[in-house]
């Protein structure tokens, strides 16, 4: 069994249009690094050069914000779902 990573529409150009991809378990950091090896450039869209998650991106592990689970060091196990959620802005005045 693998980890499922849900990819938002703005990043699907990097995954060949796929909205969900499999990844190896590990920490959130390791999952993102593995994604970048498979889909070059995706990690830079999620993380700053410093390695921290960009302010406008949220990561949810099994429907809970990873910030409350240890951040990038949060463990991701087989069967878990990691969702990448970009901020949405705009609307009607």
What pLDDT, on the 0 to 100 scale, is given for residue 23?
96
What is the distance in angstroms between the CA of the first residue and the CA of the last residue of the chain? 46
The answer to whether the CB of 19 falls within 8 A of the CB of 12 is: yes
**Stretch among 15-19, 63-67, 88-92 having the lowest mean pLDDT:** 88-92
Number of helical (H) and strand (E) elements in the chain, helices listed first: 2, 7
- As a whole number of angstroms, the distance between CA 71 and CA 59 comes to 9
What pLDDT, on the 0 to 100 scale, is given for residue 88?
75
Domain 3-86: give its CATH code.
Answer: 3.10.20.30
What pLDDT, on the 0 to 100 scale, is given for residue 39?
96
Span 33-89, pLDDT tens digits: 999 999 999 999 999 999 899 999 999 999 999 999 999 999 999 999 999 999 876
49: left (phi over 0), alpha (psi -120 to 50) or beta: alpha
What pLDDT, on the 0 to 100 scale, is given for residue 89?
66
The structural domains of the chain, with segments of one domain joined by +, span 3-86
pLDDT at 92 exceeding the cut of 80: no
The answer to whether the CB of 6 falls within 8 A of the CB of 59 is: no
């Amino acid at each position: 069994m693998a980890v499922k990573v849900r990819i938002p529409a703005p990043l699907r150009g990097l995954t060949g249009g796929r909205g969900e991809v499999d990844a190896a378990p590990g920490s959130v950091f390791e999952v993102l690094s593995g994604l970048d090896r498979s889909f070059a450039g995706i990690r830079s869209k999620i993380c700053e050069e410093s390695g921290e998650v960009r302010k406008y991106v949220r990561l949810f592990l099994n429907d809970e914000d990873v910030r409350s689970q240890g951040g990038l060091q949060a463990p991701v196990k087989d069967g878990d779902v990691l969702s990448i959620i970009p901020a949405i802005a705009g609307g009607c005045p």
